[in-house]
Amino acid sequence: MYKVFVNDKPLFLTNKVEKETDFQIFLLESVDIEQLIVKMFNNKVNKALLYYPDEKAILKKLKEKLPVAKAGGGLVYNDNGEVLFIFRNGKWDLPKGGTERGEEMEETAMREVEEETGVKNLKIVKKLQKTYHVFKRNGQYKLKITYWYEMKTSYSGKLQGQLEEGIEKVAWLKPEEIKEVLTNSYENIKLLFKEDTATIIK
């Protein structure tokens, strides 16, 4: 099962349908995906299931209906065990951005972290889960797939938010501060912490 967020509302891609559910159910094969997305953006649908019988082909089927944009990002720890956060559009987020032609995804993720925060000497520790959300650009809805990596750095220099990307603040946050900032973050970001730092989010 895949979890795609539309305006921070869950859209599950599944090959199983629960009989008892408060999710609205749609057939992926025949759904007017744009109409469903508009309803979710306008708060007319709060959560939905997209059903398709073949689990292995389900994401491919969605990609046939929506153009895909790929991004890379980092969950970055320093030597003190603090996590690097950015503050943009009134919410706490993790640094990430779109891939450029010819780049490997790991290169994208490290470049974007450095550009958005000023943090250098990044080293990838491991690959984390991908996250999925729908956004609108130039009047068109797209599916953004973000490839996340856990990173470490010994960098202790100045933090510099990328102003042209609307980043107002960059901060190293202690584990005990993270639970609070996640109450003002995105559902995709919360997923990463559930996976990576289960001890923080309970």
Residue 20, pLDDT score:
72
pLDDT one digit per residue (tens) for the chain, 202 residues: 899 999 999 999 999 987 777 889 999 999 999 999 999 999 999 999 999 999 999 999 999 999 999 999 999 999 999 999 999 999 999 999 999 999 999 999 999 999 999 999 999 999 999 999 999 988 999 999 999 999 999 999 999 999 999 999 999 999 999 999 999 999 999 999 986 544 343 3
Other beta carbons within 10 angstroms of residue 175's beta carbon come to 14
| Residue 37 exposure: Cα atoms within 13 Å on the Cβ side | 19
Q: Which fold has domain 68-196?
A: Nucleoside Triphosphate Pyrophosphohydrolase (3.90.79)
Structure tokens at 134: 């729908």
Q: Can you state the percent helix, strand and coil of the chain, rounding each to 5? A: 30, 40, 35
Residue 201, pLDDT score:
37
- pTM of the entire structure? 0.91
Residue 195, pLDDT score:
60
Residue 1, pLDDT score:
86
C-alpha–C-alpha distance, residues 44 and 39, integer Å: 5
Per DSSP, what are the bridge partners of residue 170? 86
All CATH 3.90.79.10 domain ranges of the chain, comma separated, are 68-196
Structure tokens at 94: 């993790």
Residue 60, pLDDT score:
95
Q: Helix (H, G, I), strand (E, B), or coil: what is residue 8?
A: coil
C-alpha–C-alpha distance, residues 177 and 46, integer Å: 29
How large is the C-alpha radius of gyration of the chain?
18
Residue 199, pLDDT score:
38
Q: What ranges in the chain are assigned the alpha helix state H?
A: 33-41, 58-65, 105-117, 175-181, 187-196
C-alpha–C-alpha distance, residues 139 and 150, integer Å: 33
